[in-house]
Structure 1
Amino acid sequence: MGVTVVLCAVSAVLGALAGGLWFRRREKRTLQSLDGMLDQAICGEFSPTKFDESLFSAVESRLADYLEASAVSARNLQAEKDAIKTLIGDISHQTKTPIANLLLYAQLLGEQPLPPQGRDCAAALERQAEKLKTLIEALVKTSRLENGILTFQPVVGPLAPMLEQAVAGLQPKADRKGITLTLLPTQAQARFDPKWTEEAVCNLLDNGVKYTPTGGAVTVSVTAYELFCRIDVTDTGMGLAEEEQAKVFQRFYRAPAARDGEGVGIGLYLVRQIAAGQGGYVKVSSQRGRGSTFSLFLPREGAAASERIFRN
């Protein structure tokens, strides 16, 4: 009798151990399966498979349904981006020739022996065609950035060459308006995409020259910190009221005092997109009637170390 009880107890223990081992193995297989499904989803290669109706497999099935839905959403999003890319390309291509023709004929018309009123109309036509050209180009650039069609390629390098090119591009406009445009010397380095950062700086310079009266000044300077480089574009223009400063980087926003001037209100928005796309940011410090300073912050990953090596 005693032996029978012992044998039953041993059998029960062995059965429990066997059941526990089976459960652990099944749990491990399920976790490995879930881990593999997540790896496939991360790599964009997830495809559903069949599962049995046990509790763990029910969890697998629900996770599989969720990942499959996510994969479908990702494919739909990519399809939408491809469609937007095609649309942007079509708009850019189809509008270039008509706008170029508008500008050409407006210029030819302005060269004809017209009465004063006719000359004013020809000049207005040319200005509006230029405005349309600027608007289309800005919208295409912004749409490409927002939809990830264009990507940044930042590298560590000196800021001076890029800033010199930007200043040189705006120098004729500043000269025509009688504005002093100055770039202060700098040896600072940062991590940035030269092409797109120059685009951002040109927009800041254009904004400064545009809203600075004749006889004023626009100055570009650089301050290097441990983590960021700050590019300041300071003007002696009309300035911004405090309530306008939070809105000035919004798309199509124009300050009330600037609505009758040139521009479409997208340049500063594009600056913000370019800064954010490179891990930086932009801010403004201004007072009404006392000018503005727009500051573009760029990351310095690796730049500080490069400068120390260069100095040594």
Structure 2
Amino acid sequence: MIKYLVIGAMVLLALAVVGYDRWRTARTMKRLDDMLTAAINGSFSETAFDESRLSALESRLWRYLTASALSEGNVREQKDQISALISDISHQTKTPVANLQLYAQLLAEQPLTPQGKDCAAAISAQAEKLQTLIEALVKTSRLETGILALHPQPGEISPVVERAAAQYAARAAEKGIALTVGQAEGSAVFDPKWTEEAVCNLLDNAVKYTPSGGAVTVKVKNYELFSAIQVTDTGPGISEEEQAKIFGRFYRAPDAWQAEGVGIGLYLTRQIAEKQGGYVKVESMPERGSTFSLYIPRES
């Protein structure tokens, strides 16, 4: 009888120990969950200062989150400073650049030697390039810092594609490139103004890098979740190694150093795509041309 009582007591003790361990584990998990919830909400602070492992973990988590918040604040402050600097530069250079373009035009109208005419044309081209660079920097900076917000809304894609293609029709014809708009029907949720900007960037690259006698095609391909605006060219193509780099800010491929541009168009296109819940990708092979696809969601 005593034997069974002892065994029963041991079983009860074991159950009590197991129950206590489970209760302590559950309490620890709840406390950790509360800590992480508070961290996500931005209201985390140390609440206990003992020498337990949990308190030590809480202290380390507090230090980590404090350092992360400080780092995030510094990054945000630096972005704001860069944005303000770029805006100031844009404002301060607007008049000088306009004057450069005006005087270059007036100079070109004067009786000049052939060398003088070349110099006037070069001044005008460089002033135009400077203005394009400043405008691209301002747009990118404002998108990154949230000063300019996209407003996606349901709409038809074809008007955006047709307007973008119309802007590059003359440049393509002057270069001897066949610019064609294919199937452009489709609907999606997008910001018309900024999506047109993104398509123009893709067309600008396509016309720029496609040699005379080549072809550029823009069309829309509809999928279940996305609609893709595809710009295909018969240019030199892009190696697989370069494809991972071309969407970086200011990146220029080694073979493209002679072409016009500053390497910000594709970066801006990617920013526009991501701000709308979409993405951009490239399919290309050297000497076989490239296809850039701007994917935008069909539903919000």
1:107 to 92, 105, 108: 105
Q: In structure 2, do the counterparts of structure 1 residues 169 and 65 end up closer, same or farther at CA, with 3 Å as the change threshold?
A: same
Contact 1:30-1:60 within 8 A present in 2 as well: no
Q: Distance in 1 between matches of 2:290 and 2:152?
A: 25
Show structure 1 runs of 5+ residues with no match: 1-5, 304-312
Partner residue, 1:155: 153
TM-score normalised over the length of structure 2: 0.78
Contact 1:190-1:298 within 8 A present in 2 as well: no
Q: Distance in 2 between matches of 1:203 and 1:194?
A: 14
The residue type paired with residue 93 of structure 1 is H
1:8-66 Cα offsets, whole Å, 9 max, x none, are xx9xx99x98x999999887776555444433321234345563455543433333333
Partner residue, 1:260: 258
* Deviation, structure 1 residue 283: 0.4
1:163-197 Cα offsets, whole Å, 9 max, x none, are 12211222232343343322124321233332222
Contact 1:99-1:129 within 8 A present in 2 as well: yes
Contact 2:177-2:211 within 8 A present in 1 as well: yes
1:274 to 272, 275, 283: 272
The residue type paired with residue 140 of structure 2 is T
2:85 to 84, 87, 97: 87
Q: Distance in 2 between matches of 1:279 and 1:81?
A: 24
Partner residue, 2:299: 302
* Deviation, structure 1 residue 158: 1.9
The residue type paired with residue 278 of structure 2 is G
1:81-230 equivalences in 2 (<5 Å): 81-146=79-144, 150-230=148-228
**Percent of residue pairs bearing the same amino acid type:** 55
Q: In structure 2, do the counterparts of structure 1 residues 255 and 92 end up closer, same or farther at CA, with 3 Å as the change threshold?
A: same
Contact 1:235-1:293 within 8 A present in 2 as well: yes
TM-score normalised over the length of structure 1: 0.75
1:98-130 Cα offsets, whole Å, 9 max, x none, are 222211111121122222221111111111111
Partner residue, 1:283: 282
Show structure 2 runs of 5+ residues with no match: none
